[in-house]
Amino acid sequence: MPLTTTGSVVLGAREGNAGAGAFNVIQIEHAQAIVAGAEAAGRPVILQISENTARYHGSLEPIGLATLAIARRATVPVAVHLDHAESPALVREAVELGFHSVMFDASRLPYEENVAATREMTDFCHRHDVWVEAELGEVGGKDGAHAPGVRTDPDEARAFVAATAVDALAVAVGSSHAMVTRDAVLDFALIGRLREAVRLPLVLHGSSGVGDTDLARAVGAGMTKVNVSTHLNKAFTRAVRDRLEERPGTVDPRRYLGPARDAVAREVTHLLGVLTADAELIRT
């Protein structure tokens, strides 16, 4: 199937009162697993590659081209997205490789500098028909704008969107990056106010820390693109550990990476079901 665009996946989900699952690729097994999980669910999906993952592989090109190839072989619509890119050069490389969307993260900068940098990247990407996500909020270490105590102001979000012309906005509503427990407390009323303020797709980062019920409620309240990484990594690592404990003499990586890939696929299928539950049920 031809590669699809992130915009079409996200806007299609939004029109259907559903969430669009966006899952992070660390290595090729993750990309394969995410696509397999989406195919089992019969749902579109977004494969994300972060700047940290590009750095891990030495550059964006090796993991990026492999992920694009896997996406093109899928039997469901699959988009490939650059996640949390702070480097303009990396954004340009992603566009050249054929990514249809990027998340440019200038949230570490003061507000006015964030606006200027983001607008420059948006102008570049839109000239190449590439969809742009940005982030708004304070920054504090790995948690970024999504430290539990930080919140995105709806009025500031409205001004930011108007000034930058981005296509989607990641907002801080109570989740936090890299959580290994699923007990984040989301501000559903704020999600509703942000939805009314910006009128474009909202993105929930740090979704690994949010339980199934609250993920569904967040979609019902107004979130559309839902990013998941750590939760899948937990499933992957747990499966590797279990297999090696069961068979400590294993030396062939395929013997433990295969089960880990299968575990991630099952989680993706499950989460896509959570995000596309009946709209009326989501709102209750």
What is this structure's pTM?
0.92
Print pLDDT tens along the chain (284 aa): 789 999 999 999 999 999 999 999 999 999 999 999 999 999 999 999 999 999 999 999 999 999 999 999 999 999 999 999 999 999 999 999 999 999 999 988 888 999 999 999 999 999 999 999 998 864 333 455 556 667 888 999 999 999 999 999 999 887 767 667 666 778 899 999 999 999 899 999 888 878 899 999 999 999 999 999 999 999 999 999 999 999 999 999 999 999 999 999 999 999 999 998 754 444 43
- Cα–Cα distance, 140 to 142 (Å, whole number): 7
User: Which pLDDT score is estimated for 99?
Assistant: 97
- Does residue 284 sit within a domain? no
Q: Mind giving me the DSSP string for 23-89?
A: EE-SSHHHHHHHHHHHHHHT--EEEEEEHHHHHHTTSHHHHHHHHHHHHHT-SS-EEEEEEEE--HH
What is the number of domains present in the chain? 1
Strands 202-204 and 20-24: unpaired
DSSP state of 283: T
User: Which pLDDT score is estimated for 207?
Assistant: 82
- Does residue 133 sit within a domain? yes
| Given the residues 83, 143, 187, 214, the one annotated as active site | 83
Phi, psi of 208 (to 5 degrees): -60, -25
Residue 131 near residue 36, CB atoms below 8 Å: no
Domain that holds residue 155: 6-276
- Does residue 282 sit within a domain? no
- Does residue 1 sit within a domain? no
CA distances from 62 to 5, 26, 58, 80 (A): 21, 12, 8, 14
Q: Mind giving me the DSSP string for 173-194?
A: SS--TT-SSS-----HHHHHHH
- Does residue 181 sit within a domain? yes
- Does residue 105 sit within a domain? yes
User: Which pLDDT score is estimated for 186?
Assistant: 87
- Does residue 283 sit within a domain? no
User: Which pLDDT score is estimated for 284?
Assistant: 38
Q: Please report, for the domain that includes residue 110, its CATH number.
A: 3.20.20.70
| Active site annotation includes 83 | yes
| 67: CB partners within 8 A, 6+ apart | 25, 28, 31, 47, 49, 80
